[in-house]
Amino acid sequence: QSALTQPRSVSGSPGQSVTISCTGSSSDVGGYNYVSWYQQHPGKAPKLIIYDVDKRPSGVPDRFSGSKSANTASLTISGLQVEDESDYYCCSYAGRSTRVFGGGTQLTVL
Amino acid sequence: QVQLQESGPGLVKPSETLSLICTVSGGSINGYYWSWIRQPPGKGLEWVAFIYYSGRTSYNPSLKSRLTISIDTSVNQFFLNVRSVTAADTAIYYCARHMDTPGNEAFDIWGPGTVVTVSS
């Protein structure tokens, strides 16, 4: 069970859009519509922002959106705000009741 | 609303067993899946194990031989034991609730985490 692959870092300016990719295999991302995304600020617990590939929990702004194509899931943040600067992690169901996380992406809002 | 709180020893010696407790408050532990997730210093998240309120379990294959997850619904707590710990087990350990959706795959409520250091 290998960690999903995410870019180490991405950046954008306020108001712009950024996309974070999460690449796995047909055994995890590509095999199930069970990808979730988490935002983690320094020293804090992760917060769920996307589940089931493209669904937003109540209270999460619609600036956050998710999608998937083949073995790669993506998180897009539009209208970047300073408070979006954080670490982001993807997670996928990986079969046999297991889950696997991505390595994490640090988003910098310039 | 539902809140989770981890508790643990803070410091564990190499080769010993790490025991963690997650206390669920503001709601029932029944009807949900519950997981342990850890994060080594400066690194990413790693799913460790889950347990259903009925007792059904699943473990990270890379850790399975050293883990036991259990639950006590009468006191709204679930537990994790990690045997034969090494420095690689040093991490923040989070407990989390699985979202009540058909896939039960997302973690919608997290505890604040408890720091565990393995050192002699």
Question: Is the separation of the CB atoms in A90 and A101 below 8 Å?
Answer: yes
Question: Rounded distance, CA B112 to CA B92, Å?
Answer: 9
Q: What DSSP character marks residue B64?
A: G
Predicted pLDDT of residue A1: 75
Query: Which residue in the set B37, B44, B110 is minimally distant from A103, CB to CB?
Result: B44
Question: Rounded distance, CA A61 to CA A82, Å?
Answer: 14
pLDDT band at A39 (very low <50, low <70, confident <90, very high): very high
Nearest chain A residue to B115 by CA: give it.
A43
Work out the mean pLDDT of chain A and round it to a whole number: 97
Cβ of residue B45 closer than 8 Å to a chain A Cβ: yes
Question: Rounded distance, CA A38 to CA B3, Å?
Answer: 18
A-chain CB neighbours of B95 within 8 Å are none
Cβ of residue A100 closer than 8 Å to a chain B Cβ: yes
Query: Which residue in the set A47, A52, A89 is minimally distant from B44, CB to CB?
Result: A89
pLDDT in tens, B12-58: 999 999 999 999 999 999 999 999 999 999 999 999 999 999 999 99
Cβ of residue A46 closer than 8 Å to a chain B Cβ: yes
Cβ of residue B110 closer than 8 Å to a chain A Cβ: yes
Q: Could you tell me which of A42, A26, A23, A8 has the C-alpha nearest to residue A94?
A: A26
Helix (H, G, I), strand (E, B) or coil at B75: helix
The residue ranges of DSSP E strands in chain B, in sequence order, are 3-7, 11-12, 18-25, 33-39, 46-52, 57-59, 67-72, 77-82, 91-98, 107-110, 114-118
pLDDT band at A19 (very low <50, low <70, confident <90, very high): very high
Predicted pLDDT of residue B17: 98
Query: Which residue in the set A57, A102, A103 is minimally distant from B108, CB to CB?
Result: A57
Question: Rounded distance, CA A92 to CA A69, Å?
Answer: 14
- Checking if the pLDDT of B102 tops 90, the result is no
Predicted pLDDT of residue A2: 87
- Checking if the pLDDT of B66 tops 80, the result is yes
Predicted pLDDT of residue A36: 97
pLDDT band at B103 (very low <50, low <70, confident <90, very high): confident
Q: Could you tell me which of B7, B3, B9 has the C-alpha nearest to residue B26?
A: B3
- Checking if the pLDDT of A13 tops 80, the result is yes
B-chain CB neighbours of A3 within 8 Å are 44
The size of the A-B interface in CB pairs under 8 A is 73
B-chain CB neighbours of A86 within 8 Å are none
Cβ of residue A47 closer than 8 Å to a chain B Cβ: yes
pLDDT in tens, A49-98: 999 999 999 999 999 999 999 999 999 999 999 999 999 999 999 999 99
